[in-house]
Chain A
Amino acid sequence: MSGSCYQGKNSIPHLTSEKLLIKGGRVVNDDQSLYADVYIEDGLIKQVGENLVVPGGVRVIEANGRMVIPGGIDVNTCLMKPYLGTYPVDDFLQGTKAALAGGTTMIIDHVTPQPGDSLLDAFEHWQEAADKRACCDYSLHVDIPQWNEAVKDELELLVQEKGINSFQVYMAYKDVYQMSDSELYEAFSFLKQLGAVVLVHAENGDLIAQEQRKILGMGITGPEGHPLSRPEELEAEAVFRAITLGNRVNCPVYITKVMSKSAADTITQAKRKGSVVFGEPITASLATDGSNYWSKNWAKAAAYVTSPPLSPDPTTPDHLHTLLACGDLQVVGSAHCTYSTSQKAIGKDDFTLIPEGINGVEERMGFVWDKAVAMGKMDENQFVAVTSTNAAKIFNLYPRKGRIAVGSDADVVIWDPDSIKTITAKLQQSASEYNIFEGLECRGGPVLVLSQGHVVYEEGKLQVQQGTGRFIPCKPFPDYAYQRIKFRNQVRGNQGVSRGMYDGPVYDVTPTPKYITPAPSAKTSPTSHQPPPVRNLHQSNFSLSGAQIDDNVPRRSGHRIVAPPGGRSNITSLG
Chain B
Amino acid sequence: MHLPSEHIQSSDRLLIKGGRIVNDDQSFHADIYMEDGLIKQIGDNLIVPGGVKTIEAQGKMVIPGGIDIHTHFQMPYRGTTTVDDFAQGSKAALAGGTTMIVDHVIPEPGSSLVEAFDQWRQWADEKACCDYSLHVDVTHWNDSVKQELDSLIKDKGVNSFQVYMAYKDYYQMSNSELYEVFTFLAERGGIAQVHAENGEIIAEEQARMLQMGITGPEGHVLSRPEELEAEAVFRAITIASQTNCPLYVTRVMSKSAADIISQARKKGNVVFGEPITASLGTDGTHYWSKNWAKAASFVTSPPLSPDPTTPDYLNTLLSSGDLSVTGSAHCTFSVSQKAIGKDDFTQIPEGVNGVEERMALIWDKAVTTGKMDENMFVAVTSTNAAKILNLYPRKGRIAVGSDADLVIWDTDSIRTITAKTHNSAAEYNVFEGMELRGAPLVVICQGKIVLEDGNLHVTSGVGRFIPCSPFPDFAYKRVKARKQLAVLRAVPRGMYDGPVSEFSMSRGGTPSASARTSPTKQPVRNLHQSGFSLAGNPAPCGDLTASHSIVVSVGTRPKMYSIQCFTLGI
Contact = CB atoms under 8 A, between A and B. Distances in A.
Contact of B512 (A176, A182, A237, A434): A176
Interface string A500-515: 1110111101111001
Nearest to A87: B559
A545 B213 contact: yes
B52 interface: no
B266 interface: no
B234 interface: yes
B65 interface: no
Contacts of A236: 238
Contacts of B116: none
B337 A546 contact: no
A240 interface: yes
A548 interface: no
Interface string A427-454: 0000101100000000000000000000
A511 B174 contact: no
Given A343-B559, A542-B343, A299 B570 contact: yes
A466 interface: no
B292 interface: yes
Interface string B304-316: 0000000000000
A494 B337 CA distance: 27
Interface stretch (A127-135, A244-252, A362-370, A412-420): A244-252
Nearest to A116: B510
B10 interface: no
Given A543-B343, A545-B215, A241 B336 contact: no
B216 A499 contact: yes
A86 B511 contact: no
B253 to A, nearest CB: 16
A346 B494 contact: no
A518 B504 CA distance: 64
Given A502-B342, A510-B79, A220 B213 contact: no
Interface string A183-218: 001100000000000000000101101111101111
Interface in A504-545: 504-507, 509-512, 515-516, 518-519, 521-523, 525-526, 529, 531, 539, 542-545
B503 A86 contact: yes
A88 B498 CA distance: 18
Contact of B336 (A299, A340, A341, A526): A526
Contact of A529 (B180, B231, B336, B494): B336
B81 A519 contact: yes
Contacts of A219: 490
- Chain A interface residue bracket vs B: 35 or more
A518 B425 CA distance: 12
Contacts of A115: 510-512
B415 interface: no
B515 A348 contact: no
B512 A86 contact: no
Contacts of B511: 115, 175-176
Contacts of A295: 491, 493
B538 interface: no
A94 B340 CA distance: 66
Contacts of B342: 501-502, 506, 543
B518 interface: yes
Interface in A273-308: 294-302
Among B225, B288, B295, B516, the most chain A Cβ lie within 10 Å of the Cβ of B516
A300 B519 CA distance: 26
Nearest to A117: B510
Contact of B218 (A434, A497, A504, A522): A497
Interface stretch (B94-102, B135-143, B199-207, B392-400): B199-207
A345 B500 contact: yes
Contact of A182 (B203, B234, B570): B203
Contact of B513 (A84, A174, A523, A531): A84
B2 interface: no
Contacts of A506: 336, 339-340, 342
Given A222-B491, A341-B566, A248 B339 contact: no
B212 A174 contact: no
Contact of A299 (B168, B295, B496): B496
B462 interface: no
Contacts of A299: 496, 498, 568-570
A342 B216 contact: no
A546 B568 CA distance: 75
B293 interface: yes
Interface in B194-233: 198, 200-201, 203-205, 209, 212-216, 218-219, 222, 225, 227-228, 230-231
Interface of A: 83-86, 89, 114-116, 173-176, 180-182, 185-186, 204, 206-207, 209-213, 215-222, 224-225, 228, 231, 233-234, 236-237, 240-241, 244-245, 247-248, 294-302, 340-343, 345-346, 348-350, 352-353, 431, 433-434, 494-497, 499-502, 504-507, 509-512, 515-516, 518-519, 521-523, 525-526, 529, 531, 539, 542-546
Given A85-B504, A515-B79, 12 more contacts: A86-B559, A174-B515, A176-B516, A218-B488, A236-B238, A295-B491, A300-B568, A342-B566, A346-B550, A507-B337, A515-B80, A531-B336
The 10 closest A-B pairs by CB, nearest first: A342-B562, A206-B175, A181-B200, A84-B503, A522-B334, A496-B214, A175-B515, A511-B79, A237-B238, A506-B339
Interface of B: 78-81, 83, 85, 168, 174-176, 179-180, 198, 200-201, 203-205, 209, 212-216, 218-219, 222, 225, 227-228, 230-231, 234-235, 238-239, 241-242, 288-293, 295-296, 333-337, 339-340, 342-344, 425, 427, 488-496, 498-505, 507-508, 510-513, 515-521, 525, 529, 533, 550, 558-559, 562-563, 566, 568-570
